[in-house]
A = this chain, B = another copy of it.
């Protein structure tokens, strides 16, 4: 009981919830939240719309649940960052780790990035914005020179842009990711130098 069972059933056991999230995110990222209907999601999963409502109370809840599941790593990163000394090395490491986090949840971040107007009215908007700001506040001293503040924010956006907007650049995606990371790291490094870090 509850142990290993058959395996085929296990894949479907409680798995529907996850499958809904996967398909929903894929469609949200592709066509936007508003233009993705529950009918579409249900059809792709070959279940009825009503089935979605067994697992989630509303359409928005589907999105919220995806968001909550996938942004845990960012919260962890923020937590970690706050406990480190505010050295350049820490900041560089945060950039590095953030790049990894983005890479692992690309569709969600692509969605967040491309649907800001939608997301703004949708509870999670504030939540997401707050996280990004927390992150920014770790890598830049709010008392620093404004130009350096911008540089750090820009580092974050460079990572974002690298994920979603530069798909046509460079031949090898890995190489491109390395280049993006380098530019972002550079920006943070320059900001740090400007801020008087020796």
Q: Is the interface of A mostly helix, strand, loop or mixed?
A: helix
Using an 8 Å CB-CB cutoff, how does the interface string of A160-190 with B read, 1 for contact, 0 for none?
Answer: 1110011011100001100110110011001
Pick from A3-11, A14-22, A147-155 the stretch touching chain B. A147-155
> Which of B33, B34, B149, B165 has a CB less than 8 Å from the CB of A157?
B165
> Which of B29, B32, B153, B166 has a CB less than 8 Å from the CB of A161?
B153
CB pair A153–B179 under 8 Å, yes or no, is no
Q: A118 CA to B7 CA in the complex, in Å?
A: 39
Say yes or no: is A40 at the interface (Cβ < 8 Å to chain B).
Answer: no
Known: A34-B32, A34-B118, A116-B113. A176 touches B150 (CB 8 A): yes
Further pairs besides A146-B176, A153-B161, A153-B169: 20, Cβ < 8 Å = A29-B117, A32-B117, A32-B118, A111-B117, A114-B116, A114-B117, A114-B120, A117-B118, A133-B168, A146-B169, A147-B179, A149-B179, A150-B162, A150-B176, A153-B166, A154-B158, A154-B161, A154-B183, A157-B160, A157-B165
On A, residues with C-beta under 8 Å from B are 29-35, 111, 113-118, 120-121, 133, 146-147, 149-151, 153-154, 157-158, 160-162, 165-166, 168-170, 175-176, 179-180, 182-183, 186-187, 190
